[in-house]
Structure formats: C-alpha cells, structure tokens
Chains A and B, each alone.
Chain A
C-alpha cells in the first residue's frame, strides 16, 4: 500500500516528538504507529520506557489501518496528515473486589467512601480498602438506588430508595459510625428505582415504577410532614416510626406512561428522566412542567448527563448507547450511537473529568470505557464481572471507575 505523509503531535509534553512529517505505510495500524513513536522517543530520551499510544486522525480514534480509516473518513491521502497521539488507556485490572452477599443494585462513589445498595434490602458504606463500615438497614424491600447527598465534616447525608416505595434520607456520622434515618419519603406507589440529588444538595428527585417523578427536599428537618394516614394500617405506621420522620414530596411530575427508570438533574432547575415508554423527558422544576421530550425506539434503562460536553447518554434495551443533545427541541436527535455491547445497557455514566469519556455496563457482563471520538469500538473492555452489570460509577479523581458486581455468593 502507498505511503502517507503524517505529522505527529500530542498535547502531553512528556511525549512530544519533533514536528516533522514522516512517511508512513498506509497499512500500518495503531501498534505500528505506537512503535514508531516509541522509537522516536527512545531516540530522544535515552531513559524512555515503552508506552502504548492511541492515535486520533481528525478527532477520530484510529481503529483500522491508517489507509482504510482515511478512506472511510474521506480524508485526502495526498496531504500531510495530522495525527494526534495520546497515551493509550489500558484496560485496568480490578483493584479490589468488594463482595456482597446479594446483588448490588446501585453504587455511588465518593473520594472517601463507597455507597452501595443491595438486593438484600440494605445499603452499605465501604471505605477505599473495601472494608464495610456501615450497613444501612431499614428498608423492607430491595434497595434500588443510593446517592450521597452531602459530605462535609463528620456528618454526611445519604439517600436510599427501595422497592418498598420509599426513599429514606439517612444521616451518617462517620466518626462515631452511627446512622440515623432522618426522613422517610413516602408517596410513590411503586418501587422507587432512581434518585438524584440536585447540584446544591437541597432537593432530590425520585423516579418510580408508578410512572411518577417526585421532587423532595433534601434538607433534614425535625418536622414531620402531614401524611393522610389511613387508620386501618397499623403495621405500616409502626414502620414509619422506625424509619424517621415522614416526608411528602414538594412536587409530583407526571407525564410518563411507563415506569421511570432513571432520573438526573441536568441543572438546578431541570430534571431529566428516562422511562420505559421510550422517552426521555426534561422537566422544569420551577414550574413543574415538562419542557421537552426525546423519543427513542426502545426502553431506556439509564441516562447520564455530562456538564462538560452537555450531552445526554442513554442506555437502552437494544444494546446501543445513544448520545442526545438535551437542548434540542426537535425531540429525537441522536447525535451518536455507541455500539459494542451484546445485551441491554443497564448503566451509563459520563466521566466527571473527561468530556469525551463515558463508561457503560451491560447485561452481557461487560463494562466498557468509551470515547465519543471512537463510536465503533470502546477504548477498552473490562471483563471482570461474571454476571450482569447493573450499575457503574466514576470516582472523583476520574481515573478509576467503580462498578458493581453482581455476585450471588
């Protein structure tokens, strides 16, 4: 195959090479180019150790041979090609395996602690070393979602939602390792599948199987909201007393015709919800009205929003991760779809630090790191799980991803 003129550049000063065009065979692949760069770097720095690189041609990751890539992208082979190279993300080995007794339904990472919700009706708080610090017990049914609300000082607030139709706001004192249920949020008529706390941590939103979204206050108070209790439910009332003060929703948003599977705050005044009725809806919290609807063709299992690139990523039951522009009024604008999974995409999460990376978990036991510049193939696969992946999350440092493992030990 023909030779191509290519110029390599990188933003990482450590790996900079001379800015001169090289003649490169068109058939060369990523590995060949990586070797070329390494050779160059070895010539430059004698102490250079081998580094694997990935290459971007006009913002698209190189995954095939250089010539075919340029042919498919419609780049002229006559001119000098600018090739950016970055250090390759190598599939990490699982550092730690936090074993649960039952399926883990949700995870929320924090620089210090990891909060997991489990099918054994409890939520757990783990430290970095994988040691269980606290078991949050109290729910009468499977814990479906967990979220940190506030983490400052020794007292932190956390939120769990469960299939028992409640979401509970807990107060955890990390020094004394005491947990106390502050509020039990009642009002849903189905399992509360998803909770999301807004950015200034004053409100949270919950989405439930009963097709409703409810906005609650996330600020613990000592007052109990009045709940129209029916006198013929003594058993339930007893539980309520155990679980802390009852709280009623500030607002109920109805509009979905099927179960709400995932909610998130894209703004302090805007909530995004994905549902099994094939829609993603944007809600205005100030007015309590629906702002716009994105319509897909399959059930949405999860959504994630990145404030960095202002995109929504959705995982649905047809193996694709789709990227949406939430500001588009057109309704169903799919910007990009990332396809590599073989099962339902159950979890998707944007990187908090990198605007083009997201992580996805699927029922095919795979966790994949994606770059939006390479929509055909992920950057790497993490195949450490032996069973369905139900949720994933990023740690704050953005380097390592946490993901839950379904284990039935």
Chain B
C-alpha cells in the first residue's frame, strides 16, 4: 500500500493553485495517476476492509486519506456527488482511472469475476 499526499504528484509539489479549485477534477486526476486508487478516511473501518481486500489479493493500491488532506472535505463532497446515493463518502475505488465505486460495487465485481481482469488490465496484478 502506498499512501500519498494529494498534492504530491510526479515527484514534485505542484502549486496549489494549478491543481484547480474543482475537487472533482482533482479526484479524476489523482485516480488516473495510479493503477488502483482508494479514497479513504483513516478511522473508517470499511475503508480498512477494502484495503485488506486488495492487499489480500496481492494488489498494492494508492491510498488517499482524506482526513489527513487539508482539502479532503471537498474531495469527500465531490465523491458523494460522483457516487450518487451511496450511504457513505468513502471508500471509493478507482482502477485504471475508471471509477469502480464504493465497497458494495467492489465486492460485487470481485464475486462476479470482473475485478481480477480489471486489475490485470490496469497492471496491478500479474498472474
């Protein structure tokens, strides 16, 4: 697992201004930067569960802890809008830049066998 501050990107700090005021844009950009991206809150147990799921499969996801991000609240709100009528804001999973969804979608896709091909496609799994 690989925790990352949201502002850090491509080995250097980008000026805050250039990231842009739109949190959704940020989300999309961050999501495309890694094979598996998880937006999480450090105290959230469901986030812990989804992290354990990927680690159990041998995947190394990039985790953004929104409670440790100064602009995390905005990102949370953006995620809620993105997901629609999801009960919580986190965890939200992106694989290969594409939105997978919250925990229930991740689990469903794992059970119906679509998760592993996605991971392989994104280069997160080799086998």
Query: Are A and B a genuine interacting pair, yes or no?
Result: no
